[in-house]
Structure 1
């Protein structure tokens, strides 16, 4: 009978050992599966973020002074009037600014024609100077489109504007 008890305790001990190993395998397997799922779902998000194009980095604004100042005369209500404006252009594209410098005579000609034709509107409309500035921006971009095939400036800025 002593032999029966000793074999029973060996079987009970080995059953405990098998049970502990099975639980350890389940815990390790579950932890491994959870870690794999967590890492793979994070990897998919990383891949999706890397496959999307990154937002372009905005370059710093650069300015080019169009000197000398523009002086335009025009008749208004039977009197001769004059406008003088110092103008700068703002761009984030160095190539566009270089193109403006290269084609300065064409740019100045286009702006002189614009100012000569539109100055009466400046007197009649309180927002006329802002409208004139926007028209000048469009005019310079049109010159750039003709010369280099694309617009390149963001704004024309009046750094000084005098009318008399």
Structure 2
């Protein structure tokens, strides 16, 4: 017997080329499949926008020039049409000051479709309760100023939108207006 080791077997040229080619095809196929999935599912590109809930109100676009109505939206940029709704009855609440009360009439504005106004009408008792709660936290000195009235409008808008969000799943009130305002 000879002590010389047997020479190693040479791999064929085909086997040496086959492994990198198959690996490259698997990587390219996986990348293509991943890219296709990402675009069709909306993860990237593909022109897919956010999912729109059909039950929520839509912003109402303002009509073109020369068409009515000509009013601008409550935010003032003129892009969306504004719908106004006046609450049926005035609100009367005690102020934090002893023997003082406030009585206000309220109107609201929205740039969304009729569903917001319908939700306000349907949920008026809950909205009235929220508004009375906010009014009862005020002092006569605070709401007697213009800045105090503006702050009260912001707080009332937040309370109304929160009530609508809790009751119907969307807010949509862009502004609150006083149609009457009395402090005694």
TM-score by length of 2: 0.53
Of 102, 105, 129, the match for 1:109:
129
Separation in 2 of the partners of 1:96 and 1:117?
27
Question: Conserved in 2, the CA contact under 8 Å of 1:84 and 1:163?
Answer: yes
Q: Secondary structure at the match of 1:127?
A: helix
Q: Could you say if the C-alpha distance between residues 138 and 121 of structure 1 is closer, same or farther in structure 2, counting changes exceeding 3 Å?
A: farther
Summarize deviations over 1:38-92 as a string: whole Å, max 9, x none: xxxxxxxxxxxxx8x9xx824421111112111112352xx41121111001112
Of 36, 57, 61, the match for 1:57:
61
Match of 1:73 in 2: 94
Of 84, 98, 120, the match for 1:100:
120
The structure with the greater share of residues assigned to helix is 1
Match of 2:178 in 1: 158
Question: Conserved in 1, the CA contact under 8 Å of 2:95 and 2:138?
Answer: no
Q: Cα RMSD (Å) of the superposition? A: 2.3
Separation in 1 of the partners of 2:180 and 2:138?
18
The structure with the greater share of residues assigned to strand is 1
Summarize deviations over 1:72-120 as a string: whole Å, max 9, x none: 12352xx411211110011122101100100000000000011001235
Match of 1:132 in 2: 152
Unmatched runs of 5 consecutive residues or more in structure 1: 1-50
